[in-house]
Structure 1
Amino acid sequence: MRFDTAADLFIKEHETTWRNLKHVQQWRNTLETYAFPVLGSMNVSEIEQSHVLRVLAPIWKTKTETAVRVRGRIEQIMDWSTAHGHRSGPNPARWRGQLQHILANPDKVAPVQHHPAVPYGELPAFYQALAAVKGESSRALRFLILTASRSGEVRGMRWGELDSTTGVWSVPPDRMKSKKLHRVPLPTQALQLLQAQPRGDDDDYVFVSNRGGMLSDMAFTATMRRHYPDAVPHGFRSTFRDWAGECTHYARDAVELCLAHTIDTKTEAAYRRGDMLEKRAVIMQEWADYAAPAQLVLAAP
């Protein structure tokens, strides 16, 4: 079987498990641009490490992040080919114990660039300035800060996900990076923001764009650019994590679960069945009290 054929079959078998169509297109684009010119017409049983290096070496230092993804995608396609009986032997694209001894460590070639964030010491003043800004984007961004959530989770939030009795927001799996239901204990300030929003039907968005649909990601980005151009919305999760680490003594696992991060090891995960909701409620309320004094929450309707 040719490599490009194997790649196409692999993508078709797995695309329903991937989060969105953009991810599928990224797979196809990177393989067509970088892998197919070298490997596309080759039989998967004939591909060796030297061929994989011909794909990776030219871009390893200049397009490191892309090269790392291409290597991983080639590895998965080759594993798929082996599992389906089209080839045998070691995977020529494997990193551990193999290519790691030939190619430079990607973290040293191109260190990971973290999302620029508002320092936690500056957050109360930033929140105060944001509270004075009118508009749906400002209110949604404040809710994002108070809950340490991701943009897509907040923008896609519907009224039916909120339990007004318990004060818990249940984010469905299809909007979570982990693909697992995530319960968010809402601090008083976040509940007050929601109470000020016009209540729609269960399927209606909580924060609505001017056109009546879901807010765009650019709505958050534009708000940040106007008021703190050196940071991005996703950076508030880092702000929260820095605050928790520097200013509190809460257990690391509880803080990580506030961010919906997975537990480090499978062994820990096997024994941890709960989501520490009550402990997280205390953390999130203290975070909200730090970031947003009550008198700032309902400003700028």
Structure 2
Amino acid sequence: MQLRTEKPNITAKNYLTVGPGEYPCGNNLYLIVTPSGGRRWAFRYQRNGVVKKMGLGSAKPAGLKLSEAKDKAIDALRLLAKGTDPREHRDDQKRREGSRLFGEFAEEWRQSYETGLKHRAARNKLKRIVQVITKPLHKLRLDEIETEHVVAVLRKVWHQREISRDTRQRLKKILDAAIALNLRPKHNPADWDSRLKPIMPKQLKRGTIRGSHKALDYQDLPVFMQKLAANPEQSARALEVTILSLARTIEVQNMRWPQLDLESGLWDLGNPDTKNERPKRTPLPKQTLIYLREAYDSRVSDEFVFAGRSLDKSISNMTMLKHLKEITGDKTLTVHGFRTTFRTWAQEETDFEEEIVEHCLHHITGDDAARRDAGIR
């Protein structure tokens, strides 16, 4: 006759000494001791008709005590009562520890990045993008954000061309920073060419008119430049330099030889020579520099690059406008409008940030306060 052996009750005094077996400790908690000497705590439960087991930790001297294991088991029972799978909850917490939430990471990135922004308007715009426009991403972990999440954010502002572009660029920078810190996979769901461009609808064009200056469509510019290059007149070259350097008409009219460094290819304008009375240094395009070097060797004036009939005066702006109208046949276009042509092209065909584009045009960005600080009226 075989005697039935009862398993001892597990107490704080004997849980370290009992032999191999599985010992119930109440509240679905079990002490599991293996023949090889392994000793661990486990929580057993049933979820949707399936029996599951979740490890709670080691039951060896350096591991969890019986009282600590019981507390964990009670916490797991509370989660079950709320309809939450305790093992899935634990795994989710582990993933969170390995990554970070987008909201807190993006805010830290914003505070660091905005130190390089000079104007309050630019800082306010960045703050609105991070705190308001991308709010649907705030509670997502950085490692779980995918292209569909980015698309959902952009669709809400897609009708606002500049805001949607800036939002996309900022999102890409934030996620690039997360990738660099190993907080998410290497692919960036906000990358335009590989991720977003095949999905997002084409935006309506801004148009070619900005303010009172009618501009040539940038798609028509290559043909226009070919026709302009065929004209040998000095005023045609002045118009060509104006277009390629993004300069204001008056700046090219009054371009002087002493302002040019033909060796390094730089055009220096001092405060009095610019519209906003701020120094301006323009790197000259190769095509422009070739012409200016040739023109310097055959110059008729030691002062003006584009001298008028009277060598002590510059050419008239009307001569440049004449070529524009003759080539295009459109009498409403303006020479100043070529700056708008560049602005529209940069917005519609490139990913350059607004501050960079404005810098190329020698504009002062920011709100009224920032402009007053810069001395702009």
Q: Return the TM-score normalized by structure 2.
A: 0.40
- The higher-RCO structure (CA 8 Å, 6+ apart) is 1
More helix by share: 1
Q: Return the TM-score normalized by structure 1.
A: 0.49
Rg bigger for which structure?
Answer: 2
More strand by share: 2
